[in-house]
Amino acid sequence: MFFHPMDYLIIVAFGLSLWAQFRVKGTFNKWSEVPIHSGMTGYEAARRLLDANGLYDVPVEPVPGALTDHYDPIARAVRLSEPVYYENSISAVSVACHEVGHAIQHQQSYPMLVLRHRMFPVVNLTSGVAPLLILAGLFFQQFNFLLGVGIIFFSAAVAFQLVTLPVEFNASNRARDLMVAEGFITNDEERGVAKVLNAAALTYVAAALISLLELVKYIMIFTNRNE
């Protein structure tokens, strides 16, 4: 009863998401086996890049797991997965410098990052409630207004994902430029760095696409019911 033609597009987007996750793991593993010419570990690259930008008080900390790397804006800390923290590969240094890119964005009050931080408390609340409202609205057509409220809440989550895209791409661009400027990589290594960072960015694009298509689907259902 709730099947919609846009489900086909959502399935395609979901397939793209799975492929993107597979690709990022495969790309990371491939370039993890290629030692970086400078010999630096992910930790050393992150520390040097932070210090070069005056961020002496931002710590670089190891965290368990694989691909768990992130910048914590509340603690103002760069956290690297153990393989990235300790290894001296192209993958490790690329990911480490990407996370430093976020720290530099924070330092410089990069507008899209500021907007993302301001949106987070609202999205953190609405993203948990939205699926329940949407499901209630889909199953009980007499409560169609619940679907409308759920769509509004879900829109906030989609907007958050869309804002995340320029934040991630900007961090990757900063990382590449700074790695070259600081002499962390050779010209021959730039190709590997680009592949690692582009593969990671693709996962964010796929996730945003899935959410956007789902939002359009719910809007179309809501509109059709009210005609």
Tokens standing for residue 216: 């359009």
**Structure confidence by residue, pLDDT tens digits, 43-101:** 999 999 999 999 999 999 999 998 899 999 999 999 999 999 999 999 999 999 999 99
Question: Which pLDDT belongs to residue 223?
Answer: 86
Question: Which pLDDT belongs to residue 210?
Answer: 86
Question: Which pLDDT belongs to residue 67?
Answer: 86
pTM of the model: 0.88
SS3 state of residue 201? helix
SS3 state of residue 39? coil
The CA-based angle 129-133-137, given to 5 degrees, is 170
Domain count, the chain: 1
Q: pLDDT at residue 1 above 60?
A: no
Q: Is residue 135 part of a domain?
A: yes
Q: Is residue 108 part of a domain?
A: yes
Active site residues: 99
* Residue 200, domain extent: 6-225
Q: Is residue 1 part of a domain?
A: no
70 beta partners: 79
**Structure confidence by residue, pLDDT tens digits, 200-226:** 888 898 889 888 888 988 888 888 877
Top pLDDT among 47 and 23 is at 47
Q: Is residue 199 part of a domain?
A: yes
Tokens standing for residue 137: 């609205």
- Map tokens 């099947």 to a residue: 3
What value does the mean pLDDT of the chain take?
90
Alpha helices in the chain (DSSP H): 6-32, 42-52, 82-86, 90-107, 111-139, 144-181, 190-225
Tokens standing for residue 12: 């395609």
